[in-house]
Amino acid sequence: MAILVDASTRLLVQGMTGRAGTFYTDQAMEYGTAVVAGVRPGKGGTKHFSLPVFENVREAVRETNANASLLFVPAAAAGKAMIEAIEAELPLVVCVTERVPTRDMMQVSAALAGSATSLVGPNSQGVLSPGKAKVGVMSTVDARPGRIGIVSRSASLTSEIVAQTSKAGLGQSTTVGIGADLIHGIGFVDCLRLFMDDPETEGIIVIGEIGGNEEEETADYLMSAPPAKPVVAYVAGRHAPRERRMGHAGAFTMLGGGDAAAKIRALADAGARIADNVDVLADTMRRALKDKAA
């Protein structure tokens, strides 16, 4: 089964004809993802990769039965593009665009309220169900079908953990990059619920980082609903300076909250197994699965 994307995913790409859209659409198709259309205002009626290009998302959905969208739209226009996809009632929208204006994301959040759409991102590497579908910009070199769900705020650490779990013989059911921006679509808790209901997922790895309150919300969820599957967590940024933005993620700690130590304590108190070092995440999960089976 996996979560969010699988062999039944019919993908349209907003901004498909641009440089990034062209490159990653080609990769998705080579991986076996069913890409059915592109959307690019001003180029409706043309073709790209022998696929139809439409003026707007609603028309593309109507003509192709697409059920997911991947956005390669510049930051200044990405908010409007996400809202267009939400209004077209697409079940899944994945936005990889970085630095979408906060005000625009507030409008996107309002559009999501009560909608039928699950938004992943922005500032996300996307969603990958190995051997089934790739909707994003992640590498697939080390990905292998398997039984571990991975949800992460960090694209680079996701690649590392995918390689680790594959080498350990665990593989992945699905990997989800929720995005590092403070205002985004689905979060850790949403993904945990999906993974808990997925029969192909036997364990879940959560990769957090400083800033925001995703990890604290995850701890609250685990406390309120003790998981039937082992959850292993790692929080990056233990040595990050306070009140300083770190890289492109926009994550930073403020005095009194958002620091790695507090997040780790909350997750540990809620029953998650904590990996002190990123290098031991797969081994920690393997031990957790063994203990669960005992």
Q: Which residues are catalytic?
A: 248
Residue 199 DSSP symbol: T
Q: Which of 284, 200, 199, 269 is nearest to 234 (CA)?
A: 284
How many whole angstroms separate alpha carbon 116 and alpha carbon 89?
A: 6
Return the number of other C-beta atoms located less than 10 Å from residue 229's C-beta.
18
Residue 279 DSSP symbol: G
Two tokens, residue 95: 């936005």
Edge-to-edge strands, sheet with 34-39: 47-48, 51-54, 34-39, 10-14, 68-71, 92-95, 118-120
How many whole angstroms separate alpha carbon 234 and alpha carbon 219?
A: 13
